[in-house]
Structure formats: C-alpha cells, structure tokens
C-alpha cells in the first residue's frame, strides 16, 4: 500500500498543460476589442490583461513550489521502500 503520491507532480504538469491553451483562448476578449477602436483605448485593456496574467504567473509559482516539495517527499518515501509508507 503506497500513499499514492507518485503521480502528483505529473498530475499537476498535466493539469497545467491542459489549462494553458484554455487560458489563451479565454484571454482573447473579442467583444472588447471590437468595442474599443479609439486611439489609446487599448491601454486599459493591456493593463487588465497584464493584471489577470500576473494572477496565473504568481499562483503558478506557488503551485510549482508546492509540487516540487511534494515530489521531493515522494522521492524520499520511494527511497525508503514500501515499508516506510505504512505508518
């Protein structure tokens, strides 16, 4: 009986790979682009885009840190062999 940790980082990697294209599609705001044709009207839009992009960058950074440490524990448990994970 293992703790089921082995797949964790791979699972996260897979989730990010899946979310990536979805994010790109979602972040193209067609109606907004169509509404704002004036000069300089794209600047607020760029700021909104950067703000939302940073949310994912910052959250992604935390997820990366957590996943890396989870992977390290998992490695250590694997080194110990199945006996160590019974506790």
Partner 1 sequence: MPIDLKKARTIGFILSGSGIALVLMVHWMVMDWVPTEAVQGVVQRIFYIHPPAAWTTFLAVGISALASLAYLWLEDERADAAAVAAAEGSLIFGAILLTSGPLWGRIAWGTFWQPEPRLTLTLLLWFIMLGYFLVRGSVDDPRKARRYAAIVPILGALDIPFIHLSVEWFRSLHPQAVVLKPEGPTADPDMVVTLLTSFGGFTLLFLGLFTLRYAVELGDRWAQNLPSPSTSQPSGVAA
The residue ranges that bind partner 1 (CB under 8 A) are 3-5, 8, 11, 15, 19, 22-23, 26-32, 35-36, 41, 43-45, 47-48, 50-52, 54-55, 58-59, 61-63, 65-66, 69-70, 72-73, 76-77, 79-81, 84, 87
Find the shortest distance in angstroms from Cβ 44 to partner 1: 4
Query: Quick check: 12 and 63 in contact, CB under 8 A?
Result: yes
**Residues 5/74, Cβ–Cβ less than 8 Å:** yes
Shortest spacing between CB 45 and partner 1, in angstroms: 5
In whole angstroms, give the CA distance from residue 9 to residue 71.
Answer: 6
Residue count (the chain): 87
């Amino acid at each position: 009986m293992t703790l089921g940790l082995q797949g964790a980082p791979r699972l996260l990697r897979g989730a990010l790979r899946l979310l990536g294209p979805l994010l790109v599609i979602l972040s193209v705001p067609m109606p907004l682009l169509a509404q704002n044709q004036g000069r300089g009207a794209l600047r607020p839009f760029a700021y909104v885009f950067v703000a939302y992009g940073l949310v994912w960058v910052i959250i992604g950074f935390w997820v990366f840190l957590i996943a890396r440490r989870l992977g390290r524990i998992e490695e250590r448990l694997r080194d110990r062999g199945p006996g160590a994970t019974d506790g």
